[in-house]
Structure formats: C-alpha cells, structure tokens
A and B are shown apart, each in its own frame.
Chain A
C-alpha cells in the first residue's frame, strides 16, 4: 500500500513520516502542495511543521493549497487521512475536523515525550492498540491547546470521536498530565465517519527504539490493517474465502 505525504513550504516532519512508512515495509511518496494529484495514495498524511510559516494562524494559509481540495474530495469518499501536529491544525482550519487550536496554556513551545491513552481502539488508526492502552509519543508544538464549543465537545465525547487523551504513565487522565491545556485532555480526534484523524503527538517520531519509543508503529500498523480489510471487504474477495 502507498502512503502519500503532503509537502508544504515549511513542512519539517515530512521525511520522518516517509521514513516511518518505509520502516513499516510500505511504499511512500511525497505529494507537493501545489499539485492536485494524490497519485493513488491509500492513506494521505498531513505532516508536522510550520506550513507557510504558520503566518496568520497555524494552518490558515495551508487550507487554501490546491492539494487540500483533492484531500477533501478523497476524504468525502471515505479515504483515510491523518494530520499530525501542524497537519491536525490544517484539518481544523479546513473544516475537516471540528474545533480550533489556541496557544498552549503556558505560552511555551513544548517538545517532550508524553503519554497518551487510546480512548477508542475500534478505528482505522488504532485497531492494532488495545482499549485504554498507554502510548509514549513525543509532542512538539506551541499551539496544541484544543478548543471547541460545549455542544461540539459533547458531540465528540458521545460519538467516540475522541481517539487519544493525554494521561499519566499509568493511564490516568489528570490535569497534571495535560501538557497544553486542551479541553478534556484531548490529544487526538477523528471525523464522525471515522476516516479523518488529527493528533498533536508525533507517532512518526516514535517508530524506532533508538528514538526512545516505537509505540508510534501501532498507528501505522493500524492503518495498514485497515487498508487490507477494506480490500478484503470487496465482495469478490469475500467469496474467494
């Protein structure tokens, strides 16, 4: 299967994402922001970085890039899209996910390893994790303080769209474990249809034990499994079994 990694001017985790796909034994390709061609990608990754210098607001200019119109169309057909860090911010600005990002509560750029708990293991992004599994993955952002109005937040909670929350090493959701002030300790959410995920932590930077954790591989393994199951759900293949 093919991972398509979008490259904006200012992306800086595009090569990490590409490398993570290769570590998982998959094909990867870069998708230039000015193109409208997703080149047959099975999964589109919007990587971390500072697209267009993060001028105006994080992700505010990137949402007008030509590649975004193709990604919206791909997502509307059920295509799998994952936005990591700046990619999450872009998905929010583009309206593919609800809510917005505020400056971190302490106003600092925070770069460190955090613990996140899998709140929903029945998704295309987490099916290789167990329910409530704690993953160690780094964050690196200044605007990761997730905000949504109360109705939106209740909607996300009730429909299982909150995929990851910041937690303690033992999996407790506490204010102290919340690095940036996100509402309800939210670290990652998905769309109602479940095919678009945004997360602030960087799974692509946690795919090699040399980097301190390889828990991020579970996210890629989940995607690989989801794509193979999509293929297996084709009627002719079911019959072949």
Chain B
C-alpha cells in the first residue's frame, strides 16, 4: 500500500514562498493566476501486513504528529491499494 500525504500552509498563514511564485508567474505573463500556496508532498510505502484500517490510522498519526506543525500547516492524504 502507498500513502500520498499533502501538507500545506493554513489559509490564515501568510505563505511568502507562494506569494513570490505568484509574483514571478505574473511577470511571466500568467495573469490568470490569483494565488499560489506552496506545500509538501510525501510518499510513504506501507507494509502489506497492515489492514486498510490500520494503515489509515497510522498515516493519519504520522501526518498529524510528525509531518505537520499544527500551528501553521494542515494536511490531507490518500491511500492507494
């Protein structure tokens, strides 16, 4: 099983990297870009011994307790069979 975890800055948090990318895109003529938010993407390969429920529980804990800082970031994840 493979887990895809996406971490992004909370909407209430200023994202200076995203803002800089947006400004660069505008300079390149991509005038239709309103906002850019830069985050992180993790791929985790899980042991096939885990049940789907165990996998979800572990991935959720990994994302919440290690991969994100809850003060400034939020996450979503998907698990592929």
Contact = CB atoms under 8 A, between A and B. Distances in A.
A99 B70 CA distance: 10
Nearest to B72: A100
Contact of B69 (A100, A104, A145): A100
What is the interface of chain B mostly: helix, strand, loop, or mixed?
Answer: loop
A149 B71 contact: yes
Interface of A: 56-57, 60, 92-93, 98-100, 102-107, 145, 147-149, 181
A181 B67 contact: no
A185 to B, nearest CB: 15
B71 A57 contact: no
Interface string B47-80: 0000000000000000000110101100000000
Interface string B8-20: 0000111111001
A102 B13 contact: yes
Question: In the complex, which of the residues B13, B15, B66, B69 has the most CB atoms of chain A within 10 Å of its own CB atom?
Answer: B69
Given A98-B71, A99-B71, A100-B72, 16 more contacts: A56-B66, A57-B69, A60-B69, A102-B13, A102-B14, A102-B16, A102-B72, A103-B17, A104-B16, A147-B13, A147-B14, A147-B71, A147-B72, A148-B71, A149-B71, A181-B14
Interface residues of B, number: 12
Contacts of A106: 16
Given A60-B69, A93-B69, A147-B71, A103 B16 contact: yes
A66 B30 CA distance: 49
Contacts of B72: 100, 102, 147
A100 B68 CA distance: 11
Nearest to B20: A107
B12 A149 contact: yes
Question: In the complex, which of the residues B17, B71, B72 has the most CB atoms of chain A within 10 Å of its own CB atom?
Answer: B71
A102 B71 CA distance: 10
Contacts of B16: 102-107, 145, 181
Contacts of A148: 71
A90 to B, nearest CB: 12
Question: In the complex, which of the residues B12, B13, B67, B72 has the most CB atoms of chain A within 10 Å of its own CB atom?
Answer: B72
Interface in B4-48: 12-17, 20
Q: A-B pairs with the 7 shortest C-beta distances? A: A100-B71, A100-B72, A100-B69, A103-B16, A105-B16, A107-B16, A57-B69
Contacts of A100: 69, 71-72
13 contacts: A56-B67, A57-B69, A60-B66, A100-B69, A100-B71, A100-B72, A102-B15, A103-B17, A147-B14, A148-B71, A149-B71, A181-B14, A181-B16
